[in-house]
Amino acid sequence: MNMRHALLFIISAFFLSHAAFAQDTIMKTNGEVIQAKITEVGPAEIKYKKFNFQDGPTYVENRSDIRYLKYSNGITEQMSSSKPAAAAPAKAPNAGTTTDYYDPNEQKALHVDKMQPYGSKYKYQGRRIGENEMHRILMKTQDREIVPLIQASKDAHKLQFVGFAAIPLGIAALYVLETGAAAKGRLSTGTVTGSLLLLGGAIACPIISGVYKHKRNASNRKAVELYNQKY
């Protein structure tokens, strides 16, 4: 039964190492790197739990002390100082003119249609929206470049679920190994080969899922970039 224990150890180690990639990363301006589970991104503060102690206290960092956040889904969010910039004094129109004064900063502030990543979601028109709503907004454009990217993201999202097959495949590998040893009193070549094939499938499923997750995120980013450029 040593082979069974070794196989169980390999499967457990693989899933633990795969879970490590689900952490968020906080890069501070002083070069300190914090592995965390980010719980809140506010206008002045970042709240998080230590990744290896998520049942522990909530930590708080000033947004101005953070260079960038990298989320578990691969999205990186650059941070800026929480101190609001001083408002420029309004310029009065020249006396005797009849034209309206044009303030480019004011016009820029009025343009709120830009869509930006905001953690695992998106910020649009002053509110947070999820991926599905982002897809609906972009699909309404019927743009020949944007629509295929959204469809590719949706297809990749469906294929991500192949990662869940790793669990039953890993269990099946152990079952074949144990029942084969119990039936014959020893591990035959066929039993070991079958178990290794199942284990290989269990390992491959999360890798394939990760590939499609990367494709999904990349398609979303490109679609949002095109939307911001065109609309």
pLDDT at 135: 94
pLDDT at 136: 93
Q: Facing residues of 53 across strands?
A: 50
- Please write the tens of the pLDDT for every residue from 85-114: 444 454 444 544 444 444 444 444 444 568
**Residue 139, both tokens:** 């699909």
pLDDT-based confidence at 53, cuts 50/70/90?
A: confident
- Please write the tens of the pLDDT for every residue from 23-34: 889 999 998 999
- CATH topology assigned to domain 16-83: SH3 type barrels. (2.30.30)
Residue 55 predicted with pLDDT over 70: yes
pLDDT at 207: 92
pLDDT at 102: 41
pLDDT at 103: 46
pLDDT at 13: 54
pLDDT at 196: 87
- Please write the tens of the pLDDT for every residue from 139-188: 999 999 999 999 999 999 998 888 888 888 888 878 887 787 666 666 67
**CB under 8 Å, gap of 24 or more: what pairs does 152-157 form?**
152/215, 152/216, 152/219, 153/215, 153/216, 153/219, 153/220, 153/223, 156/212, 156/213, 156/215, 156/216, 156/219, 157/212, 157/216
Residue 137 predicted with pLDDT over 80: yes
**Residue 70, both tokens:** 């990298």
pLDDT-based confidence at 21, cuts 50/70/90?
A: low
- pLDDT, averaged across the chain: 78
Report the alpha-carbon distance of residue 208 to residue 163 in Å, rounded: 7
The ranges assigned to domains in the chain are 16-83, 138-231
Residue 4 predicted with pLDDT over 70: no
